[in-house]
């Protein structure tokens, strides 16, 4: 398996429509990678447990400060291999794609265009920060290199 690059872009809005559109656009055929989603995500004793990704997406869109990471696997061998959404604790949304390293620049351009955002970067085996403020700072530092 070739190495993957992770492409991240700050989304224009934190809505179910934005998430569904992102998923449909970049991987119409996909499967969630988790069996359950805890609220809060990393709690020892969750307040709620969802079994389906669309349920936790709905919840996070209605609870703007709930932080959560959700991953899907593309069905098939094309890029992107994985899709990710990160609900930040400061009411924002980050889109992510895991793609072959050689396609990373192309997908960064595509994802920025799709998300109507210039705020994004490429990383390797590193999730994005938990807030949009930190994400913007990291994206700025990455573009300055």
- Domain borders along the chain are 4-143
Beta bridge partners of 120: 9
Residue 3: band (very low, low, confident or very high) from pLDDT cuts 50, 70, 90: confident
| Residues near 110 by beta carbon (within 8 Å), at least 6 away in sequence | none
Do 72 and 19 contact (CB within 8 A), yes or no? no
Beta bridge partners of 50: 37
pTM for this one? 0.95
Q: What are phi and psi of 60, to 5 degrees?
A: -65, -30
Name residue, tokens 């291999």. 81
Mean pLDDT of 3-24: 96
The strand pair at 82-87 and 4-10 is best described as unpaired
DSSP state of 132: H
With CA atoms as reference, report the closest residue to 83 among 2, 37, 14, 20: 20
Q: Mean pLDDT score of the chain, rounded to an integer?
A: 95
Residues in the chain: 145
For the cut 70, the answer to whether the pLDDT of residue 19 exceeds it is yes
68-84 in b/e burial notation, b at 16+ Cβ within 10 A? bbbbbebeeeebbbbbb
* Architecture in CATH for domain 4-143: 2-Layer Sandwich (3.30)
Residue 11: band (very low, low, confident or very high) from pLDDT cuts 50, 70, 90: very high
Do 106 and 114 contact (CB within 8 A), yes or no? no
């Amino acid at each position: 398996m070739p190495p993957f690059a992770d492409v991240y872009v700050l989304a224009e809005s934190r809505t179910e429509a934005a998430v569904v559109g992102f998923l449909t656009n970049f991987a119409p055929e996909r499967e969630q990678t988790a069996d359950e989603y805890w609220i809060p995500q990393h709690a020892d004793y969750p307040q709620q447990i969802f079994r389906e990704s669309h349920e936790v997406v709905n919840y996070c869109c209605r609870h703007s400060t709930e932080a959560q990471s959700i991953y899907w696997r593309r069905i098939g061998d094309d890029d992107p291999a994985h899709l990710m959404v990160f609900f930040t604790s400061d009411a924002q949304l980050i889109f992510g794609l895991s793609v072959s390293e050689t396609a990373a620049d192309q997908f960064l351009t595509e994802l920025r265009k799709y998300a109507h955002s210039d705020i994004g970067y490429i990383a390797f085996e590193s999730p994005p920060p938990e807030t949009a403020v930190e994400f913007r700072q990291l994206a700025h530092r990455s573009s300055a290199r």
